[in-house]
Chains A and B, each alone.
Chain A
Amino acid sequence: MGEAAAKPTQTFRTGTAGRAPGAIAAIACVMLLALALLPVVAGRNLIQDMIFLFYMLALAQCWNLLAGYAGLISVGQQAFVGLGGYLLFALTLLGGIDPLLAIPLAGLVSALFALPTAFIVFRLRGAYFAIGTWVVAEVYRLVFAQFKPLGGGTGMSLTPSITSSVPGIEWVKALLNVRTPAARDLISYWAALALMVGTLGFVYLVLRSRRGLALGAIRDHEGAAAGLGVDIYRVKLAVYVATAAMTGMIGALIYLQKARISPDAAFSVTDWTAYVVFIVVIGGIGTIEGPVVGAVIFYLLQRYLADFGASYLILLGTLGIVVMLFAPKGLWGLITERYDLALFPTRRRLVIPPRAEIARRVDFPK
């Protein structure tokens, strides 16, 4: 110890983790391009399946940020899916707004609704918070069921004039030589792809920013994070409002594609929260890769086993329990235990100049 220890002996800098970030970025770009061009070769069924995969993945990323990082175990995200869906119907049918413009607007309004909702549910902790969010979602459902201009309890459909008025639809019809319903699916496909990539990109950027440090700290130890200067309430509120906005946009897109909405479907806890929780849990909660892995697995299960009806749900439940018991970090956790792998590197590495080790030995005689 002494003077040598007190003065800086070297210059440190930060690097990002990840073996070959360049290679991963290149693969991501190729995949993105392939997905964007998929409609040229794929049939309508596959396109519809992919739309489902994209929005489930986007919903899972949102819930993962909320529950996996900010510790906000919400089982009421269907409130914002349904709100987004209904906002799309209201804005297009009642407001005469272009459907693709209605999607971001639905996100904005969802965020405005999320703020007062947060003031209520943030008073609750843990399990009470979870129940509180569910109750709020039920309130949303009941309110929309009372709203006659949007079909009340039985719901309503988008008129063909709106679904065919999506910008670019004529262009797609001419280019790929398809009929209007197929062209509408393609527009939804690209919108879903954009929204999924946007959500993934947003979550990734948040986690790489200084907010990401706070979120990692809150995920691992809330009390210690507060003691080190992190304003936990503010971070959580920001995450809640941001995920509500994204969930609202995804909801709007889902119902643009479905073209029919009813309160029971739009505010379904099974479709928009239980499945999403399943995806995040089997994939690996608290990682950005986990929901991606989980969504692909969920899609495959849904694709090949959904015809078995009730036994399909029993299988999903059993798989969820088995993963929770034997691989609590999810399937992505199993992979990272064996290989030091990160598809979306968020870790900050301290680059230590080579002199450091020598300096240390001089400073700390044992």
Chain B
Amino acid sequence: MLLEVAGLKKSFGSIIVADDLGLAIAPGEAVGIIGPNGAGKTTLFNLIAGSISASAGSIRFDGRDLSGVPPQGRCRAGIGRTHQIPQPFEKLTVFENLLVGAVYGGRKAEHEATQSCGEILERLGLLKRANTLAGSLTLLERKRLEMARVLATEPKLLLLDEIAGGLTEGECAELVATIRDIRESGVAILWIEHVVHALLAVIDRLIVLNFGRKIAEGSPKEVMQRPDVHQIYIGIEA
């Protein structure tokens, strides 16, 4: 297994955001996570990416225990993460944003990184904007940059946090095509998404979280038909 999470616990005061969570992802696999707001989806990403630490439980990646490994170490190990609200380096150009990922996360020399960053920008349709300041990008472009920058670190596992939210149908379809393409290049994907139809177009397996617990897991079709999932998700499903 590429990622193995077992017995993960985390609470903020009296609010439990991760309660005995466990999941596993094989190399190259695409897994979706759904759940109502406050179910602990983003917290799970924060725990995996190392921006917060768990109260209990273990996270293993690529056969290595990640406890005590800081975010930069996890990135270098191959965990790439996008944020729900894009966090670009606004006063750097789009290209420089990617360079940060390639040079520090991907541990490349700058001249080596140039070529791969250019290719990623081309792949994500950002080439025209390469020398623009990231602060002047539109929402769609910011989301693409968020993904492009993580791809520059050459991750083995890509954590996508609601990347399709707020996009039009056409933009969303384009994004799905891009994510499929990334997946075909061998990168495993763990994707939190409220736009369920986008998710279902890519993933092999679906996990449902509620109140920090895993309440369902299986093939997307089966899971979506379960009455309890339906009940929790009614009114939210797109």
Contact = CB atoms under 8 A, between A and B. Distances in A.
A213 B128 CA distance: 21
Interface stretch (B9-17, B83-91, B207-215, B230-238): B83-91
A36 interface: no
A8 interface: yes
Given A221-B87, A221-B88, A352-B118, A229 B106 contact: yes
Interface stretch (B56-64, B70-78, B221-229): B70-78
A229 B96 contact: no
Contacts of B99: 213, 348
A228 B51 contact: no
Given A228-B153, A229-B72, A14 B89 contact: no
Interface stretch (B28-36, B107-115, B198-206): B107-115
A352 B150 CA distance: 21
Contacts of A217: 89, 92, 100
B100 A225 contact: yes
B110 A210 contact: yes
Interface stretch (A40-48, A50-58, A171-179, A357-365): A357-365
Nearest to B107: A229
A251 to B, nearest CB: 31
Interface string B101-141: 10111110011001101110111010110110000000000
B149 to A, nearest CB: 6
Interface in A223-257: 223-232
A363 B121 CA distance: 13
A241 B145 CA distance: 34
Contacts of A352: 118, 127, 130
Interface stretch (B18-26, B177-185, B188-196): B177-185
A224 B121 CA distance: 19
A226 B51 contact: yes
Contacts of A363: 122
Given A14-B114, A213-B99, A228-B153, A223 B104 contact: no
Contacts of A6: 123, 181, 185
B100 A349 contact: no
Contacts of A347: 93, 96, 131
Nearest to B79: A227
Interface residues of B, number: 50
A228 B150 contact: yes
B127 A228 contact: no
Contacts of A350: 93, 95, 114, 117-118, 121, 130-131
B100 A228 contact: yes
A360 B127 contact: yes
A12 B116 CA distance: 9
A70 interface: no
Contacts of B49: 227
Contacts of B114: 12-14, 350
Contact of A213 (B96, B119, B131, B150): B96
Contact of B105 (A14, A229, A232): A229
Nearest to B184: A6
A364 B91 contact: no
B52 to A, nearest CB: 11
A349 B101 contact: no
A9 interface: yes
A1 B177 contact: yes
Contacts of A364: 125, 174
Nearest to B91: A220
Contact of A214 (B104, B106, B131, B174): B104
Contacts of A224: 83, 87-89
Nearest to B86: A224
Nearest to B81: A227
A359 B127 CA distance: 11
A229 B115 contact: no
A341 interface: no
Contacts of A231: 70, 72, 104
Contacts of B100: 213-214, 216-217, 225, 228-230
A14 B109 CA distance: 12
A229 B153 contact: yes
Contacts of A214: 100, 104
A11 interface: yes
A363 B127 CA distance: 12
A194 interface: no
Given A360-B125, A364-B125, A225 B89 contact: yes
Q: List 4 A-B pairs, minimum CB-CB distance, nearest first.
A: A12-B118, A229-B105, A229-B104, A220-B89
Interface of A: 1, 5-6, 8-14, 17, 210, 213-214, 216-217, 219-221, 223-232, 286, 347-350, 352, 356-357, 359-360, 363-364
21 contacts: A6-B181, A9-B122, A17-B131, A213-B96, A216-B96, A219-B91, A221-B90, A228-B153, A229-B100, A229-B106, A230-B100, A231-B72, A349-B131, A350-B121, A350-B131, A352-B127, A352-B130, A356-B127, A357-B127, A363-B122, A364-B174
